[in-house]
A = this chain, B = another copy of it.
Amino acid sequence: MSEAVQTAVAGVTGYAGAELARLLLRHPRLKGKPPVFAGRLDARDAERGGIPLAEIHPELIDSKGSGNLRMQPFSWELLSDLDVKVLFLATPHEQSRAWAPEALDRGLRVIDLSGAWRLNEAANREIYAFEDEGSTRAIKIQSEAVYGMPEIYRAEIANARLVANPGCYSTSVILPLKPLVAAGLIDIDAGIIADAKSGVSGAGKAPTTKTHYMYAADNLSAYGVFAHRHTGELLEQIGVPADAIVFTPHLLPIPRGILSTIYVRFREPQTRASVLHIYKTFFAGSPMVRLHENGLPQILHVARTSYADIGFQLSADGKRGIIVSCLDNLLKGASSQAVQNFNVMHGWDEQEGLE
């Protein structure tokens, strides 16, 4: 086995950061070489040499020693001193926007879990109002960024310096739609409806009115209706015109998991076999996608796994399809997909460390 790669994770404090830490700490290719955890710290925490990881995420404590790991004050010198080769950014959009270019300049490979580098079209990036929008440098870096979905861009990811890790909702809609749209099956003009439901971890770790237990529990609510924050990513990746997809997210009273129910019309009537054939062909060699040949997936069976599950039903006349996709929003929707990209970037088995 080749020598372990030194990695660093910036922004380990959130839910995706915690899952990323957990995955990397047990990754067989990183045995004995734990990631460097770094982030912005206040003076007091910096002074005491950072924050023990176990204080931030008590569930990461074990009795062997990961209890000794710390989130250290981030600096480029720290990374170069420790000979870090791959930097995971589990940071907010703005921070990833600023740090990724610097990291590339310093010869690091970057896997960014934020939305900073996912969108190719300027119009779709408007929602972020990035300070460097339109600058030569940003344009150049964006053109180099590879959308981190190995099922579509495996070859490009292998050589990428900057991987833009997809969003969780996007992953749950792109994976089931891309194969069918690419094969020309879908009647785009008839419109596609993606009714998506996500657990509360998708709403982030900050305590807000919306993440208060009393609001989220025993409830279901739709939000962001006809607002296109996520739609740009969907449209670009699936390759359909604006407004071809109506995407509606809902907040589910569960900790983890996304289920998307997707409604399509076909150009020509399809059979179960014809649709299954397209999926099987597309996902051949993609171990993290599980096709349900008969039934439909549900959140229970993907939560806390690194898989995306896809199943579907056709109308009796074969003209319409309902596709159900499920995944864990923090894993295939964030951190395990980042590790999958990390594996692909090093030519390892895509599934390494994810079983």
Q: Which residues of A contact B (CB under 8 A)?
A: 15, 26, 58-59, 61-64, 190-191, 193, 195, 197, 200-201, 205, 207-209, 211-223, 225-226, 243, 246, 248, 250, 252-257, 259, 261, 263, 265, 287-290, 296, 298-301, 303-305, 307, 313-317, 320, 322, 324, 351, 355
Contacts and interface: CB of A to CB of B under 8 A. Distances in A.
Given A213-B211, A213-B217, A222 B261 contact: yes
Contacts of A63: 287-290, 307
Nearest to A198: B220
A243 B208 CA distance: 38
A212 B59 CA distance: 17
A119 to B, nearest CB: 20
Nearest to A291: B63
5 contacts: A213-B255, A215-B300, A219-B300, A222-B259, A253-B254
A316 to B, nearest CB: 7
Given A15-B214, A190-B190, A225-B296, A252 B220 contact: yes
Nearest to A298: B221
Q: How many copies make up the complex?
A: 4
Contacts of A253: 213, 217, 252-254
A185 to B, nearest CB: 17
Contacts of A191: 190, 265
Please name the 10 residue pairs, one residue from A and one from B, whose CB atoms are nearest each other, closest first. A221-B298, A207-B207, A219-B300, A213-B216, A195-B195, A225-B313, A200-B213, A59-B301, A218-B254, A63-B287
Nearest to A207: B207
A26 to B, nearest CB: 6
Nearest to A286: B63
Nearest to A199: B218
A220 B298 contact: yes
A254 B193 contact: no
Residue of A257, A261, A316 with highest tally of chain B CB at under 10 A: A261
Contacts of A248: 261, 322
A220 B257 contact: yes
A301 B209 CA distance: 15
Given A197-B250, A205-B214, A220-B298, 17 more contacts: A63-B289, A64-B351, A195-B261, A207-B212, A211-B214, A212-B212, A216-B217, A217-B217, A218-B218, A218-B300, A221-B299, A221-B300, A222-B296, A222-B322, A226-B322, A248-B322, A250-B259
A240 to B, nearest CB: 16
A334 to B, nearest CB: 14
Contact of A246 (B207, B288, B298, B322): B322
Nearest to A225: B313
Nearest to A320: B246
A200 B219 CA distance: 13
A83 to B, nearest CB: 26
B64 A287 contact: yes
Contacts of A313: 225-226
A212 B214 contact: no
A221 B296 contact: yes
A41 to B, nearest CB: 19
Contact of A220 (B197, B201, B223): B197
